[in-house]
Structure 1
Amino acid sequence: MARAERLLSLLQVLRRHKRPVSGARLAQELGISIRTLYRDIASLQAQGADIEGEPGVGYVLRPSFMLPPLMFSQAELEALILGFRWVEKFADEPLTKAAGDAMAKISTVLPDSLRDSLDSTALRVGPRVIQDTERVDLGIARTAIRLQRKLSITYIDGAGQESERVIWPFSLGYFQRFRILVGWCELKGDFRHFRTDRIRGLVSLEESYPRHRADLFKQWRAIQTELSYVPDT
């Protein structure tokens, strides 16, 4: 492994750990000697990385540090390209535009050798099988999820019945044929899955829901026997 790639890998490992991690564990993860690890940490600290700790205590990377030169391995770059291409094809319009903008930003700071890989990679995403059918702005839903705000929706179920719901949204799933908004439904007193193409009205409320989004997601995952996002009926 080249030294530059090794230093980048060390930063990535440190970013995954929120608490101090021992030098022995870091060296084991990277497949290097403890002496090499200490030299690499000293090199990163000299370049401005805010790594705190010492031998026998452990090391932690403070979140303020950003590596100036943006570098990716070939596999990481291919994963990014594939992900961006999927979003550009299957997400709603604001996200497809954001994906293109993000890819352009990354392209401008990549070395020439990696920038060429953006267009030459053989990875492709299959054809889109549906057109956007939402009548509402999914950006409102994403913002409500991020801010943990309640949503008021008008929903048409599979039987064609219309209902007014207040939900606590915590997840938005993107699939090839449809999209699913997942939340706690106050009307049903339970978790529900709403196909976004059946939502006829969507309003973000000022009121925050009383539980943390991560707790709702954890509880929802715990009761799922399989990943089958069945729309509310």
Structure 2
Amino acid sequence: MTAQSRWTELAAQQLVRYEALFKLLDDIQTLDDIALISRHIAMQWKYFANVAAWRLVVAHDKGFLVIDGFRGEARLADVQSLSPWDEHHWRLRRPRLVRMADPLAGPAPPEHLTGKFITEIEVLPLARTGRCIGLLSAAARHEPFSELDNRFIRLCGGHFADRVSDILQQQQAIEALRDSEARYRAIVEDQTELICRYLPDGTITFVNEAYCRYFGKRREELFGHSFMPLIPQEDQRLVEARMAI
């Protein structure tokens, strides 16, 4: 094989790896299920980087989400405290390359990142706007990571952590909204005053129990209907005038 043909072959291999990476990045942006995204990563990572196993840790408001990838499978766990390995590197907040042939300094890596054929582990803290949002540990098999491997690991790991963090924040916002609505409903249900919520055209969207008792109606009979027929006819013009303000 000539030098030119060898270069052409390497360029073609790199192109295939780039295509596999960017297809995966496009795919995970369209998904909202963290478990499904993690399985995609676990199955596809080997096609563009020499990654035999990995762990991603992402912070959220109640602790951390730990995602382990190994042999095409992904395992997720919500934890309140980190393992010694993860805690050490989270606090360190510096990239680190751990060569398995060298004496280990610091906590031992997770079991699935070790083994007979693992040559090194790359640890990457993932920071956004000065805040650490995630930590990636990726293990190389047989051969050390190449420069291209490192580039792809940083790209994929960064997008992966960003997507997981975004989804977790969305879930937290939805949960907070539900809690707020539940508290609001509990408060208004305890009131003896008549309370209702309605659209600009008078269509009822919420009533408390006192409102139902006063008019002798069930909620199902009131929702989606205007409250105007419930108002005494002599008061309807006054109510309409107030609604028009």
> Structure 2 length normalisation: TM-score?
0.20
Which structure shows the bigger proportion of residues in helix conformation? 2
TM-score by length of 1: 0.21
